[in-house]
Structure 1
Amino acid sequence: MADLSLITPIEYLKGVGPQKADVLKKELQVFTIGDLLQCYPFRYIDKTKFHKVKELHPDMIGAQILGRLVSLQELGEKRGKRLVGQFKDDTGTLELVWFQSLSWLKKTLSVGSAYIIYGKPNEFNGTLSITHPEMELYQQKEKKIGNMSMQPVYSSTEKLKKFNLDSRGIQKLQEVALATVFRTLIDPLPPYIIEQHGLMPYAQALVSIHFPQNEELMAAAIRRLKFEELFVIQLRLLRNKQLNTQRYRGHRFTEVGEKFNSFFNEKLPFPLTNAQKRVVKEIRLDTNTGAQMNRLVQGDVGSGKTVVALMSMLLAIDNGYQACMMAPTEILATQHYNGLKELLGDDICQIKLLTGSTPTKARRIIHQELEDGTLDILIGTHALIEDKVKFKNIGFVVIDEQHRFGVEQRAKLWRKNIIPPHMLVMTATPIPRTLAMTMYGDLDISVIDELPAGRKPIKTVHFFENKRLRVFGFMREEIAKGRQIYIVYPLIKESEKMDLLYLEAGLEGLLREFPMPEYQISIVHGKMTVKEKDFEMQRFVKGQTQIMVATTVIEVGVNVPNASVMVIENSERFGLSQLHQLRGRVGRGAEQSYCILMSSNKLSKEGKTRLETMVRTNDGFEIAEVDLQLRGPGDISGTQQSGILEMKIADLAKDQAILAEARNSVIQIFQEDPNLSAEKNHALVQILKQRGSAISWDKIS
């Protein structure tokens, strides 16, 4: 056999060829033999265990049955067309149902033959069925590959199945691939790491994950491959962090001067929490090292991140530099500007706002003041990154909700000075620790984990639709006390029209219960112009309306301390992080605030968990952990776009212990051998060369 390796294009593997290679590339992103071997099984079937038809019930996750396909017929028309087979063993009969690839199935399935089938049992009108079961012709004397008791199951698609690349077909390719490259496999990890962590050797792990002899070997193989994947991510991230510290000089802030002290001693409206003090201290130390700071500050809505950002910007000004803060929307940028202006007053420093709506004349003045250095702080949106916006000496940049910005947008801000400014990235979406250690592994992370004194925890309740009159009564009581109320409807991506229908149907009921002129209602939805939205919001901010009804999340990003009730309609349609963000819109004043989660009576298991979590806790970090368990890392905080979390086998929701072990191992390696120059770490240098470098957050945050 010709010398093939992990980097050999997949078309050169025996049994593949150009056509199969093309579909493997398109459907599974398998371009090389190494890619194929990294297509790991997503579960295993215990091939030693068979169920009888009479033992099946809908609560089973899956079952393997040996029986005979006794009939097969096509039913229905057009979109309702399906293939239905009767499958029988000595205890009973069940239906097998297919909705796709009907013509191919009719050709390949053999009525009268014995099959081993696997799938999830369902029950409808007293009839047991399995939809799209895995089918394998039963051959009594067939020698199983590797004599496995645990049968791997691989991801496949209808297109792959047309090339006989179902789960069994993919496993046969894995057998050929392993036989081809096994002798030439080199373990990527150094021997001392393998020994230190009790890991299975790489070649054995590949064999044991694709062809497990037993559960113990399979578990050891999975642990080895998960550790390696997480170890390599941490190696890249921490190496990047180390290189950035060495490579990029930063402005040194040596002074804690007049502006910082004036604000702290005379203007600060409330004492800083211990968490805020800790984070300010971390930023002060960072900005005095001579290296560029890249720090992520995360904390719940209302935890006081903005004050920390302001004090950091005043530190920059005291040292002769300018600062700016970029927010993802005009509403948030304006809110930041108004809040900071109120905190600073008129005598500490010059602060201005730049957005897409800033008039040309005012824009020209801002540009001039930035260039001559008379403007100290600029707050804005994407308008800040325009080429026309030039600073005399930018030294500190704050980015709010950074995951809302693209990579190139952030990089433009970073390049606004010869020596890059210090970067402070803020997010009000608490990030689970595992996600922070991977997505932001090369940033320093600060957490503001306490709310300012005097803030009362928001009381959260969940009501089904039949309690609506009770909710209306409570709303009337709060309005009578002079409070205001938000009512939010879900954003259903598929149809803005549906959003408006939900809103309009809800409004009819509201207007009956809260008639004009006694009550005033603001309405905000996606079909309105910016001007119309702003007008309605300002009416609510000024207290001219008691209720704000909105269809989307971002439009309610207004700070109204007098708003004490957040009603979330169809709350089961929102994700946990969205629910938590919305709840954070109230509770900003000294009065007790409430979040009311309305839902239909039919709740999925996941929907029930989400609402129970919201009622149980106000802790954003606990909520983020539950969200990670429910949704996985790909959907949280814009992580899909980063590319860093496209893991083959590790699962951040479940592998926290392995991640911590891998990260601690890498930290120890860099402490002992910062340049990886020791002979025992030569393999790690090769990993960094072969697998590229991690995303460089210093250039994009």
Structure 2
Amino acid sequence: MPATKTSTSTPSPPPPSSAAKNIDGKLAKLGLRTDMDRVLHLPMRYEDETEVVTIREACLRGGHVSQVEGVVVKNEISYKPRRQLLVSIADETSDIQLRFMNFYGSQVKQLAEGTRVRARAEVRHGFLGAEMVHPNYKVINEGAPLPTSLTPVYPSGEGLSQTVLRRVIADAMKRVDWQDTVPQAVRTRLNLAEFQPAVRLLHYPPPDVDTHALVERSHPAWTRVKFDELLAQQLSLKSAQQARREKGAPVLAAVGSLSRDFLAALPFKLTRAQARVVDEIRADLGEGYPMQRLLQGDVGSGKTVVAALAAAQAIDSGYQAALMAPTEILAEQHFRKIAAWMEPLGVKVAWLTGSLKKKDKVAASELVESGAANLVIGTHALIQNTVQFAKLGLVLVDEQHRFGVGQRLTLRNKGSDGLVPHQLMMSATPIPRTLAMTYYADLEVSVIDELPPGRTPIVTRAIDQNRRDEVIERVHAAAQEGRQVYWVCPLIEESEALQLQTATDTYETLAASLPDLVVGLVHGRMKPAEKQVIMDAFTAGEVHVLVATTVIEVGVDVPNASLMVIEHAERFGLSQLHQLRGRVGRGSAASVCLLLYQSPLGPVAKQRLMTMRETTDGFEIARRDLEIRGPGEFLGARQSGEAMLRFANLETDGWIVDQARDVAAWLLGSDRPEAEAIVEAHLARWLGGREEFLKV
């Protein structure tokens, strides 16, 4: 009988318990899936549990947070004035009451008389003497050692206590690979702390640490973490840029008869800034890899004509171009303007939106698919599966931050012959330099930093709602002088929660107050055809006052409109206020923007209105907007919440962005074999599975 073979393999670890799986699921909701994710889940603040003072000393310090230790001498549930647990502890100097308004039955048993407790909270002097309300506490044995470092307090989620987070993070720190992914030469040159000591200090800072630097995140340990985070982002975006350059794109080098005839037919001359940007785009379109360029320009700087010239170059080169805008009003504005320029030159411009009747959609799609349409302009309808292009060479995306990454990718993926179309993204929301360097490091950026001549400066005033009647009189006077007026409201229908004046109510009020004027109304719930009738009448001068929601935020161009009233201006963001204001000041008449606000104003609203009064410079407004609300809203759906910076602050850490950008360029440009391994290790540590999202 053959001998039985003895297995020498290592036994498999036991499967995780249901409790462990439950904790893992809750950690995953916080984005903490790997050990390194958990190690990089850094504290938001700290508690000092390294010192115990006597109860007497804590009482003398009243109003400060103190940690005391004593034995429970009394434990009772009181019902006056409400149900609460009252626990008295005493040491050799005095006693103090611990009061819990919300408590469990287990706590009553846990804090039984004779139990030794450490409690930490602010000491208050109430009707019954010194007390701590809902203190942090631990049941301990006599002589239990004190912590030797500050106690971290972590960002948490539902069902995750600080105790669990501290244990999970401590366990993860035993397992991770601590190898430093930043080369020694870089650390020395930039005076950076080493990775492991820096992270350990942030989790377990010693009692003598510079607490102010720790809280303000200016400590060298924080600088190292911020640098690593920014380096990962720069490496990812720049790697994506390099990867795109390896893809093939149609070469749109021809600047032929259409481009020349188009320029010659324009009733104005390009500004120096427009001409410079056109040259930058033309050079990109002539390359065999996809252009990925962001065109920035303030409201009214003339981005549309630059986009049209790019489209003309694509058409001259035998390809189609597509322009996608986020709203029908904006898309139609582009269509009317560009079609008026191009159709007399023999270009077929197709119009495609979701509101078209089925037969019109089919007809437009056939024009695009057959190649009969050289240029197609529309909304999200352009990215539907039913829309196929014969030979798409250029994608133009207006107000790009209002589209999701997936939407822009879908349009870009409609190229043919395995080639990726060039892409030009436009934004009238100027992006501050540091933000552009950080979140748009994978893009080339062109800036139109000059307004066309003849634009009049806009005077901005903030006016309390109580002076509404005066504003209506001013509207009447402006209309009698032959000028037109926008009156913008933030909501369409009544909301009791916000109690805002609505567009429909305002329309009725103004129509009644100004019987000799024609008052129109447009809002987002009207059918496109209805909206267009009103907009056409306003453009033709037949409507004196246009009451509107923010559907007129971008793209509307009526030079005769020189007065704008923005209702409840305190409810709008800075960028939106600036966009709205840009609808006036487009003609030769002096223009005014009146910001009607409801008192009292909060501090953020005050800042916004003050900024609007002080400047019309879109780049300065964007800089202040970044200060007020951070980078999130500038980026729209470009990044996921996970990909946002967690530690670096773009307002205060711009110098670290510069360093990270230079090191990323050095690593990616290096031909040393170890450079590639360094890049991979750093990206794996900081981005893990999230890296792919940055690459789009």
TM range (shorter): 0.7 to 0.9
Tell me which residue corresponds to 1:5: none
Tell me which residue corresponds to 1:687: 682
Tell me which residue corresponds to 1:24: 27
1:532 CA displacement: 3.9
Q: Deviations over 1:407-427 (max 9, x none)?
A: 443233223322221111112
Tell me which residue corresponds to 2:290: 292
- Kindly name which structure, 1 or 2, has the bigger radius of gyration based on alpha carbons: 2
Aligned-partner residue type, residue 289 of structure 2? A
Aligned-partner residue type, residue 37 of structure 1? V
Aligned-partner residue type, residue 452 of structure 1? P
In the superposition, relative to structure 1, how do residues 511 and 679 fare at CA in structure 2: closer, same or farther (>3 Å)? Answer: closer
In the superposition, relative to structure 1, how do residues 12 and 376 fare at CA in structure 2: closer, same or farther (>3 Å)? Answer: same
Aligned-partner residue type, residue 188 of structure 2? E
Question: Does the Cα contact within 8 Å between 2:96 and 2:132 map onto a contact in 1?
Answer: no
Q: Deviations over 1:345-396 (max 9, x none)?
A: 6135232322234455554554444344443221112222234433332211
> Of the candidates 262, 268, 271, which is equivalent to residue 270 of structure 1?
268
1:211 aligns with 2:204: yes
Tell me which residue corresponds to 2:181: 188
Aligned-partner residue type, residue 678 of structure 2? A
Q: Distance in 2 between matches of 1:435 and 1:32?
A: 29
In the superposition, relative to structure 1, how do residues 73 and 631 fare at CA in structure 2: closer, same or farther (>3 Å)? Answer: farther
In the superposition, relative to structure 1, how do residues 133 and 291 fare at CA in structure 2: closer, same or farther (>3 Å)? Answer: farther
Question: Does the Cα contact within 8 Å between 1:10 and 1:32 map onto a contact in 2?
Answer: no
Q: Distance in 2 between matches of 1:10 and 1:608?
A: 60
Tell me which residue corresponds to 2:334: 336
In the superposition, relative to structure 1, how do residues 377 and 449 fare at CA in structure 2: closer, same or farther (>3 Å)? Answer: same
1:107 CA displacement: 7.1
Aligned length: 662
1:586 CA displacement: 2.1
Tell me which residue corresponds to 1:255: 254
> Of the candidates 296, 299, 302, which is equivalent to residue 301 of structure 1?
299
Question: Does the Cα contact within 8 Å between 1:119 and 1:134 map onto a contact in 2?
Answer: no
Tell me which residue corresponds to 1:450: 450
Matches within 5 A, 1:37-52: 37-45=39-47
- What SS does the corresponding residue of 1:229 show, helix, strand or coil? helix
1:473 CA displacement: 2.8
Q: Deviations over 1:652-698 (max 9, x none)?
A: 3432221221012111333343xxx4335532233346735744788
How big is the alpha-carbon RMSD for the aligned residues of Structure 1 and Structure 2?
A: 4.3
Matches within 5 A, 1:194-233: 194-213=187-206, 214-215=208-209, 219-233=219-233
- Normalised TM-score (structure 2): 0.82
Aligned-partner residue type, residue 263 of structure 1? F
- What are structure 1's unaligned runs of at least 5 residues? 1-8, 58-62
Q: Distance in 2 between matches of 1:411 and 1:508?
A: 41
Question: Does the Cα contact within 8 Å between 2:562 and 2:590 map onto a contact in 1?
Answer: yes
> Of the candidates 535, 544, 547, which is equivalent to residue 546 of structure 1?
544
- What SS does the corresponding residue of 1:159 show, helix, strand or coil? coil
Q: Deviations over 1:624-655 (max 9, x none)?
A: 22222222223333147535633342233432
1:176 CA displacement: 4.3
Tell me which residue corresponds to 1:404: 402
Identify which range, 540-549 or 85-94, moves more after superposition. 85-94
> Of the candidates 558, 564, 567, which is equivalent to residue 566 of structure 1?
564
Aligned-partner residue type, residue 38 of structure 2? L
In the superposition, relative to structure 1, how do residues 394 and 530 fare at CA in structure 2: closer, same or farther (>3 Å)? Answer: closer
Tell me which residue corresponds to 1:64: 65
In the superposition, relative to structure 1, how do residues 199 and 576 fare at CA in structure 2: closer, same or farther (>3 Å)? Answer: same
Aligned-partner residue type, residue 210 of structure 1? H
In the superposition, relative to structure 1, how do residues 288 and 520 fare at CA in structure 2: closer, same or farther (>3 Å)? Answer: same
1:87 CA displacement: 11
Aligned-partner residue type, residue 453 of structure 1? P
- What SS does the corresponding residue of 1:314 show, helix, strand or coil? helix
Aligned-partner residue type, residue 186 of structure 1? Q
Tell me which residue corresponds to 2:515: 517
1:638 aligns with 2:641: no
- What are structure 2's unaligned runs of at least 5 residues? 1-12
In the superposition, relative to structure 1, how do residues 54 and 539 fare at CA in structure 2: closer, same or farther (>3 Å)? Answer: farther
1:296 CA displacement: 1.1
Q: Distance in 2 between matches of 1:288 and 1:309?
A: 16
1:560 CA displacement: 2.4
Identify which range, 16-25 or 190-199, moves more after superposition. 16-25
Question: Does the Cα contact within 8 Å between 1:499 and 1:551 map onto a contact in 2?
Answer: no
Identify which range, 566-575 or 367-376, moves more after superposition. 367-376
Tell me which residue corresponds to 1:610: 608
In the superposition, relative to structure 1, how do residues 412 and 10 fare at CA in structure 2: closer, same or farther (>3 Å)? Answer: farther
Q: Deviations over 1:88-123 (max 9, x none)?
A: 99999999886x7777877777899986545799x9
Question: Does the Cα contact within 8 Å between 2:98 and 2:131 map onto a contact in 1?
Answer: yes
Aligned-partner residue type, residue 483 of structure 1? R
Aligned sequence identity (%): 37
Identify which range, 514-523 or 364-373, moves more after superposition. 364-373
Q: Deviations over 1:522-568 (max 9, x none)?
A: 23345544444444434433333222223444677533222222222
In the superposition, relative to structure 1, how do residues 40 and 560 fare at CA in structure 2: closer, same or farther (>3 Å)? Answer: same
1:196 CA displacement: 2.6
Q: Distance in 2 between matches of 1:435 and 1:154?
A: 27
1:323 CA displacement: 1.3
Identify which range, 82-91 or 652-661, moves more after superposition. 82-91
Tell me which residue corresponds to 2:469: 469
In the superposition, relative to structure 1, how do residues 71 and 107 fare at CA in structure 2: closer, same or farther (>3 Å)? Answer: closer
Q: Deviations over 1:205-247 (max 9, x none)?
A: 12100011244595121111111111011111111111211x2
Question: Does the Cα contact within 8 Å between 1:465 and 1:599 map onto a contact in 2?
Answer: yes
1:314 CA displacement: 0.9
Q: Distance in 2 between matches of 1:520 and 1:72?
A: 74
1:440 CA displacement: 2.3
Aligned-partner residue type, residue 275 of structure 2? K
Q: Distance in 2 between matches of 1:156 and 1:295?
A: 39
